[in-house]
Structure formats: structure tokens, C-alpha cells
Amino acid sequence: MKEISNEIILKAANVKKYFPIKKGLLLKTVGHVKAVDDITLEVRKGETIGLVGESGCGKSTFGRTLIRLYEPTAGEIEFEGQNFLKVGGRSLRNLRKDIQMIFQDPYASLDPRMTVGQIVRQPFEIHNVGSSAEREKRVKELLELVGLKASHVNRYPHEFSGGQRQRICIARAIALNPKLIICDEPVSALDVSIQAQILNLLKDLQEQLGLTYVFISHDLSVIEYFCDRVAVMYLGKIVEIGTRDEMFNGPKHPYTQALLSAIPRVGEGKKAMKKSLSGEVPSPINPPPGCTFHPRCPHAMDICAQHIPKLEGKNTQSVACHLYDANLKLKK
């Protein structure tokens, strides 16, 4: 049983990320893609929190904004009590040792011109950590830690399978002993038979190294297996958040209920799809007023199109839905 601290390691408050739409010869801004729209989230030390939702809901953009691969349009991000958005230069470089990212595509995230040894050694060189001999020793230790052989140091990425390449990416991510890792769909590009191996590796590393994960995925079965808490995103917003048991056994938001009902279950056949979603996700350029889910919601009321629901709830579960009061009881 892993230990989860009450200490907040990462805090995002009212984070927004809008991408400008430019047209004309003068590239005038005519609108914005509201990829992340006012998200507040706290991550506790030692936990794995999952971000889940349909494609295009803003999961990956939010993850990249947390690590400042994208600069947020508005909001605040704190890492271990320090304002992450105020630091720059050498201070930012030092802080990046503690926050790393594993990307979705192990084929695209590795430089094909570099050997495995050079790839895993690169973080030490960038941050000037250790001597040459110490780096060589550490690279071999990292490869063995993620299930590869030390003799693989002189091979190139094209000589490895997809699962092995993701292990190389993981070795690079943990090289500097980070405290937080953003996992952006790290198993979605892999065969199902390999996915469990990578997930179990990440679990083992979390226990050994005391890691905290923000785990992004569209696969609810992966989220259920891997995460301690789950945040459901829709059109750039978090619509529900809670523990794994709360989200999979007692979902409140109609969107969460629809996502869970779409999971194939043995013996249920088409009945499992009875709450599946209809219609398309609205454009993030011009999202619907009020609750952005109301055009697709089977329980939509007049208030849903007029007012944005607050994310509120009781204890560990919160939901942004006009159907419930602050105690998560259905309104009469």
C-alpha cells in the first residue's frame, strides 16, 4: 500500500491557455481556441492523479501548461509552494530537474541520430551533474532500472520496439531524480500486451523513487488500474473529480456517467452503451454558454444554458453540475 501525503506538491489555480487565431496579411487575431479554460487542481505528494476525457478536451495542453512547455494565458501554478510562473533563467532550469514529462509517442520523442546512451546522458550534461565516469555508470544503472540492458547504450532508437523505446523515455525522465512526472498518454501508442508492462514499471518506480504522477489518458480502464484520483475534463474544464472508487462506482456528472457506460463489459453487449454520448464536442473556439456540456446532456435544464456551474462537492468528490447541491445531493 503506497503512502500519499497531505502535502500539496503542485497547485494550479484558474489556469487558462488560449491559442490565438490569426488571419489576413497582417495576421490579425480574430479569435482564440480555449484549450484550457479556468482549471483549478491540487496534486498531493506521492499520488497518481488521472486526467481523462474525449480527444480534444484539453488534457495534453493542460499537462504541457503545468510544466511550462506552454506558457499559460492566465492563472497561477505553484510547485512546492514556489510560484512556478515567476521563475526564469537558471532558477527555472534548476526547478525543471524536479518536474519531468513522458510523451505519448516514443518514436517521435527520441532523436534518431543519438544513441540510447547519449539520450539518457543528456539530462546530466544539460544540468552539469557528475563527472564523465559517473554519468556513464548512472546511465547503465538507469537502463537496467527500467528493464533494459546496460549493453544497449550504443544502440540507436530504431533498433528497439515501441515498448523498449518508452522504457528509454522513462529512463531519461527519471535521470535527475524528479519529484513530479507528467505522463502524457504514455501507453496509448503501445500494444495492449506491452501496456501492462509499462504501467507496472511506472508503479514500481513510483514506490522506489517516491514519484508523483499526473497521468493523462483517454483509456478509462488504464485510469482505473493506475490512478488514485481522477479528474474528468470536458472542453477545457474539469467537470468532476474524486477518488478512483468514487468516480468508477458513483459518478455524478452526466458526462462521466456516459464515459463509463461506454466501457465494454463482458456479457452486457449493447446494454453497456445505453448512456453513450450523442452529438459532437462543441468547438473550443466558440464554446456554448453556461455549462458547455448542456447541448449533449440528457438532463439539461434552462439554467444549464445560462450559468456556468461551480466545481463543488463533499469531502474528496466534486462535480460541476446544476443537478447537485454542494453536498452532492440531487436538487428537487
The confidence score (pLDDT) of residue 272 equals 47
pLDDT score recorded for residue 169: 95
CA distances from 237 to 135, 140, 284, 287, 304 (A): 42, 42, 11, 11, 15
Give the type of residue at 76.
E
35 φ, ψ to 5°?
A: -70, -40
C-alpha cell at 67: 510544466
Which residues in the chain land under pLDDT 50? 270-273
Torsion of CA 78, 291, 293, 238, to 10 degrees: 10
- The residue length of the chain stands at 332
How open is the CA angle 65-68-69, to the nearest 5 degrees? 85
State pLDDT tens for residues 99-149.
999 998 888 889 999 999 999 999 999 999 989 999 999 999 999 999 999
Cα angle 220, 8, 47 (rounded to 5 degrees) comes to 35
- Three-state DSSP at 233 gives strand
pLDDT score recorded for residue 273: 45
pLDDT given for residue 253 in this prediction: 95
Q: What is the pLDDT of residue 276?
A: 61
Nearest CA-CA partner of 156 in 111, 106, 102: 111
Contact 159, 127 (CB under 8 A): no
- Specify the pairing of strand 212-216 against strand 48-52: parallel
